[in-house]
Amino acid sequence: MNYSPAPDLLKDRVILVTGAGQGIGKSAALSYAQHGATLLLLGRNQKRLDAVYDEIVDKGFPEPMSLKLDLAKADDKQFEAMAQAISEQLGRLDGILHNAARFEGLIPLELQALEPWLNILRVNLAAPIALTRACWPLLTRAPDASVVFTSETHGHAPAAFWNAFAVSKSALETTVKIWADELAPYPNLRINGIVPGPVRSPQRLISHPAENRDQLASIESLMPLYLYLMGADSRGQNGRVFEAQAENLL
C-alpha cells in the first residue's frame, strides 16, 4: 500500500489489540506504539504478551498494558469488566484491532465435530462482537475511533476443507458491513476489515506447512494498511473489507 503515516499518527490514542502476542497482532501493536499509541495488549499467552510489552518499553514507546484473556471462555461480564477497567485507568478508547483467531487445521465438514466448530465461531466471531459491544460507550465518546477486523482470504472465497474457520471469517465480513450501516448516529466511528492474504504468519505455517515461506509477503508489509485504517487519515472509509496485497489507495 502506498501510504506513509505521520510519525505521530496515533499520538495520545488508546488502542486495544487482540491476539497481540504473535504474528500480525504483535506487528500491529508495535507499529501502533511506534506511532504514539498507548496499547492494550490482549491475548491468552502471558509469556508472549510480556515479550511484546518488554519490546515496546525497550524501544521507548508509550508503556502498554497487558490483558490476559481466553476469548473461547470469556463472557459478557468479563468483557464489560474489562471495558470498565479501561475507562477507569485510561479514561478513553480510540480503537480496537480484532486480530485473535482460532484455526484448528483443514478438515472436511463431514468430520467437523460440534465443540471445535463452536469454539472457532466463539473466538473468531462472537467474541469480537461481544468485546466491541462492551467497549461501545468508550468508542462512541472518542473524538475519532476505528474498529478493524482481520479477516482471511477464505472468508470471501470459500474452499474445501476450510470448514468453520471460513464460515466464521465470512460472517465477520458480513458483521463489518451490517455494523457500518448502523453507524449513522456516530460520525466519529468507523468499522472496516482487512484480508491480509498469504503472509509469513504462524497460522500460515499451520495451514500450508510445505510452502516456501521466502516467497510470501512479510507481515511488516501489511502495516501501512493497518496504520491507515486505525488513524484519522481513514475518516470516510466505513464498511469496507480491504485486501491488503491488492490495495494501492493513496
What are the sequence ranges of the domains in the chain? 14-246
For the whole model, what pTM was predicted? 0.91
Phi, psi of 82 (to 5 degrees): -65, -45
Show the cell assigned to 177. Answer: 458491513
Tell me, which fold does domain 14-246 have in CATH?
Rossmann fold (3.40.50)
State how beta strands 145-150 and 241-243 pair. unpaired
Cα–Cα dist 244/195, whole Å = 6
229 three-state secondary structure: helix
One-letter amino acid at 132 equals T
One-letter amino acid at 93 equals L
User: What average pLDDT does the segment 77-106 reach?
Assistant: 93
Q: Are 49 and 43 in contact (CB under 8 A)?
A: yes
- Residue 166 reports pLDDT greater than 90: no
The sign one gets for the Cα dihedral 34, 15, 246, 195 is positive
DSSP string, 108-139: -GGG--HHHHHHHHIIIIIHHHHHHHHHHHHH
pLDDT class for 2, splitting at 50, 70, 90? confident
pLDDT class for 160, splitting at 50, 70, 90? confident
Please, what is the Cα angle at 228 between 86 and 43, to 5 degrees?
40
